[in-house]
């Protein structure tokens, strides 16, 4: 058998107009140029020159990266650039064309190849600024003219982009994010994303929040062709196109999500070919036909023509502002270099193919049109080129001399200390449509764990209109466990709504909504399903505060319930909280009783950190005294659930009732007074309360329902042994589920899960 190693047929530029048979998906219909745009009044000569300046700014910056890697960038001889090198040279027309018709307060998201989009959104927003706004960016130029302020602000923008690429404190993300995560949130750039397709649900969530706020803004989501084979991207297309945004369920505000899905189709993933290899359609715009009856107004444009892109995005933005979104645009473009500069390209494409695309270069096309239209002469164009080159050189030299982050600040920005203690006036007015559900307390004031959680949700939603709640079946049905029953009737479908079975998109949209100002609480029906959403929880929710250099906070709560002990088997029973403790940037909370369920959930909703809030289905019916009205429990402060002097039992979640039962057995049958510490939260961890108890008792057992191998139990054990070794009178005991898969059979499941007897035996073994 012979394996074919020859090239596929070349991907050559082909901008022949077409119309797909699947409906109204047209391609390459734009036939204008600078002259026709000027005649129509849609693009002035000055605007066309600004487009050229923007594209040249991107190319100068990215060619600087290329030359730095080879040691050939004259302004910085010998500079050691060690960051990513995913350049977008050749694609300049896409970002500049799109951003040129977006408003300053519109948002964009981008990809790992996002330097160009960062420059583009910044230039567009800065050009729209008043003198006062410009002066805020370059305060040293007080008294300067508008033209001087503008040019200085543009150079400052280039400087801060380069400083971020160089890992400097003066970079937009203070060197924490780097080029693949760059974003200037002050100009509407919600960040680039190193996870292919990772920003698409974030952009969708931002658009959802804009719709909820009834703001006149649009999100333009830049992503490459490779992303459109990614599951969460397809989930996002479906999410954005849901009927409920525009049909009778939308009530008085039938308004589609204001999002433009902009595919920067450069025809390659890393090295794989989108055309003829890993996709089954010729034009990716056909993806839209699978999710919306109107095909999301999809069209294909010539991405090598900045004016064609500008025309398409102008029309798309108008549709979105009119409530007719989402819109999908595919721009056929090309990256002249490989996936990164370590990719020589010669193994999967030809020089002839590259030459054919360089022959339709977007910058050269625009320059020729400017000359033909009389919008500029050769001297003026040369001056713009010189200005872009010198601007970049000055910015690069300054960035090279900027401040390196202090290693002592390594963990700065990992979490935020801020909370929503005060609700902004605009969010303090809450509309309700029916009386809120009220839990019936018994004579002692006790309610169930489940009702305590609902009470927390009701109180926080009544307090702050920014709090919304969504997930699978949480609206009319009230959730799989009826925990949210009544919320829809009280707060309406704008704030309580059902979602597709799309766990990754549930969490990803929550990230986007949180970044732009809402405080979403989302439900994952079973914690097992968090594995499907793990990228959006771990790489997005948990990282954006840090990667943005604290430009943004991500105040969201992911409610996830654990179904252990119900005979639901290996895919609906896992206690996975330990996995999320291994992801710096997220808080992990697991209440053990009704009062803490309420108090901790209210605190989780108010913190500006993302929280994985774990609930035990086994504890849902358990009753306890819960304060009525305002009641908060501090996250990161453990509780001494039972005092003792002979042994310390540390536990969380459903292991706490087991620990209390074990303590009672130890007291009545063995004469031992065990102290039970309920951690309440694993991140942040109150280790001081644990250590204080161990120093008193001299013995310790740590218990949870998670599988013991790899469990957070082991982290607690290690720290007790490290930090309280001299106080220990015996080995530290470890309790957890068996190192296996949760079985359905009742007898096997009882053997799989730990119980109070296991804890008793562990305490006795430590003596």
What digits encode the pLDDT tens for the residues 357-384?
Answer: 999 999 999 999 999 999 999 999 999 9
Residue 112: partners with Cβ closer than 8 Å, 6 or more residues away: 84, 86, 180, 192, 193, 194, 196
Examine the pLDDT at 2 and tell me if it is beyond 70: no
What digits encode the pLDDT tens for the residues 7-48?
Answer: 456 778 888 887 765 667 999 999 999 999 999 999 999 999
Q: Which residues are catalytic?
A: 503, 572
Mean pLDDT of 207-234: 97
What digits encode the pLDDT tens for the residues 695-732?
Answer: 999 999 999 999 999 999 999 999 999 999 999 999 99
Question: According to the model, what pLDDT value does residue 23 have?
Answer: 64
The DSSP code sequence of 349-408 is S-HHHHHHHHTT-HHHHHHHHHHHHTS--HHHHHHHHHHHHHHHHHHHHHHHTSPPPPGG
Distance between CA atoms of residues 375 and 661, nearest Å: 84
- Give pTM, 2 decimals: 0.96
Q: 43's torsion region: left (phi>0), alpha (psi -120 to 50) or beta?
A: beta
Structure-block tokens of residue 742? 């949760």
What digits encode the pLDDT tens for the residues 641-691?
Answer: 999 999 999 999 999 999 999 999 999 999 999 999 999 999 999 999 999
Question: According to the model, what pLDDT value does residue 223 have?
Answer: 97
Q: What are the CA-CA distances from residue 536 to residues 9, 71, 508, 512 (Å)?
A: 37, 38, 5, 10
Distance between CA atoms of residues 284 and 575, nearest Å: 40
Size of the chain in residues: 767
What digits encode the pLDDT tens for the residues 55-110?
Answer: 999 999 999 999 999 889 999 999 999 888 999 999 999 999 999 999 999 999 99
| CA geometry: angle 320, 325, 327, nearest 5 deg | 100
Question: According to the model, what pLDDT value does residue 13 have?
Answer: 87
Structure-block tokens of residue 503? 């766990």
| Contact indicator for 493, 475 with CB cutoff of 8 Å | yes
Structure-block tokens of residue 473? 């079946």
Mean pLDDT of 390-401: 98
By C-alpha distance, which of 77, 50, 51 is closest to 393? 77
Q: Is 523 exposed, middle or buried (0-12, 13-18, 19+ CB in 10 A)?
A: buried
Question: According to the model, what pLDDT value does residue 6 have?
Answer: 42
Say whether 647 sits in a helix, a strand or coil. strand
Examine the pLDDT at 749 and tell me if it is beyond 50: yes
Strands 299-302 and 327-332: parallel
Question: According to the model, what pLDDT value does residue 1 have?
Answer: 41
By C-alpha distance, which of 304, 366, 364, 309 is closest to 335? 304
Question: According to the model, what pLDDT value does residue 21 have?
Answer: 59
């Amino acid at each position: 058998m012979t394996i074919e190693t020859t090239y596929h047929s070349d991907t050559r530029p082909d901008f022949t107009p077409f119309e797909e048979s699947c409906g109204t998906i047209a391609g390459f219909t734009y036939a204008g140029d600078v002259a026709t745009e000027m005649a129509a009044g849609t693009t002035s000569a000055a605007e066309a020159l600004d487009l050229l300046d923007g594209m040249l700014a991107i190319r100068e910056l990215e060619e600087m990266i290329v030359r730095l890697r080879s040691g050939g960038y004259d302004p910085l001889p010998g500079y050691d650039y060690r960051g990513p090198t995913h350049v977008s040279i050749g694609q300049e027309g896409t970002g500049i064309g799109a951003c040129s018709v977006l408003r300053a307060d519109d948002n964009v998201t981008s990809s790992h190849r996002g330097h160009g989009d960062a420059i583009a959104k910044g230039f567009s927003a800065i050009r729209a600024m008043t003198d006062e706004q410009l002066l805020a960016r370059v305060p040293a130029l007080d008294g300067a003219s508008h033209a001087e302020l503008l040019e200085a602000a543009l150079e400052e923008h280039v400087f801060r982009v380069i400083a971020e690429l160089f890992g400097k404190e003066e970079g937009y993300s203070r060197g924490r994010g780097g080029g693949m995560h760059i974003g200037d949130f002050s100009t509407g750039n919600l960040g680039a994303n190193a996870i292919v397709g990772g920003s698409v649900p974030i952009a969708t969530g931002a658009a959802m929040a804009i719709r909820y706020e009834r703001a006149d803004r649009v999100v333009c989501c830049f992503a490459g062709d490779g992303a459109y084979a990614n599951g969460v991207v397809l989930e996002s297309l479906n999410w954005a196109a849901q009927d409920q945004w525009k049909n009778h369920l939308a009530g008085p505000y039938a308004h589609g999500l204001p999002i433009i899905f902009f595919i920067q189709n450069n025809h390659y993933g890393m090295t794989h070919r989108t055309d003829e290899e890993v996709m089954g359609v010729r034009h990716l715009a056909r993806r839209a036909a699978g999710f919306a009856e109107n095909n999301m107004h999809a069209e294909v444009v010539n991405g090598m023509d900045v004016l064609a892109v500008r025309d398409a995005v102008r029309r798309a933005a108008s549709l979105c502002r009119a409530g007719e979104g989402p819109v999908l645009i595919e721009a056929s473009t090309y990256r002249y270099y490989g996936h990164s500069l370590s990719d020589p390209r010669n193994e999967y494409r030809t020089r002839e193919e590259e030459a054919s695309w360089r022959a339709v270069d977007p910058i050269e096309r625009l320059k020729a049109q400017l000359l033909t239209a009389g919008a500029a002469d050769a001297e003026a164009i040369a001056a713009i080129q010189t200005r872009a080159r010198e601007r970049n050189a000055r910015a690069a030299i300054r960035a090279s001399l900027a401040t390196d982050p202090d290693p002592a600040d390594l963990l700065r920005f990992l979490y935020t200390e801020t909370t929503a203690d005060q609700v902004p006036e605009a969010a303090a007015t809450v509309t309700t449509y029916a009386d809120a559900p009220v839990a019936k307390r018994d004579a002692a004031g006790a309610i169930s764990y489940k009702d305590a959680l609902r009470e927390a949700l009701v109180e926080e939603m009544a307090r702050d209109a920014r709090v919304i709640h969504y997930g699978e079946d949480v609206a009319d049905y009230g959730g799989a466990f009826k925990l949210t029953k009544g919320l829809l009737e009280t707060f309406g479908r704008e704030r309580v709504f059902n979602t597709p079975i799309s766990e990754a998109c549930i969490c990803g949209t929550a990230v986007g909504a949180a970044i732009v100002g809402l405080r979403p609480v989302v439900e994952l029906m079973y914690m097992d399903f968090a594995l499907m959403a793990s990228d959006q929880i771990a790489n997005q929710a948990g990282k954006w505060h840090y990667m943005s250099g604290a430009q943004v906070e991500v105040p969201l709560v992911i409610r996830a319930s654990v179904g252990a002990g119900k005979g639901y088997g290996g895919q609906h029973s896992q206690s996975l909280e330990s996995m999320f403790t291994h992801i710096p940037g997220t808080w992990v909370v697991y209440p053990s009783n009704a009062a803490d369920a309420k108090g901790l959930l209210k605190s989780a909703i108010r913190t500006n950190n993302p929280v994985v809030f774990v609930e035990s289905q086994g504890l849902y019916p358990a009753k306890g005294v819960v304060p009525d009205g305002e009641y908060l429990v501090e996250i990161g402060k453990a509780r001494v659930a039972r005092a003792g002097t002979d042994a310390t039992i540390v536990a969380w979640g459903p292991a706490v009732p087991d620990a209390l039962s074990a303590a009672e057995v130890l007291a009545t049958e063995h004469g031992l007074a065990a102290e039970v510490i309920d951690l309440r939260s694993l991140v942040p961890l109150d280790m001081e309360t644990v250590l204080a108890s161990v120093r008193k008792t001299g013995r310790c057992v740590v218990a949870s329902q998670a599988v013991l191998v790899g469990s957070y139990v082991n982290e607690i054990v290690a720290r007790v042994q490290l930090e309280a070794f001299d106080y220990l009178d015996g080995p530290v005991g470890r309790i957890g589920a068996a190192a296996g898969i949760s079985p359905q059979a009742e007898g096997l499941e009882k053997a799989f899960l730990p119980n109070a007897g296991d804890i008793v035996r562990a305490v006795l073994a430590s003596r």
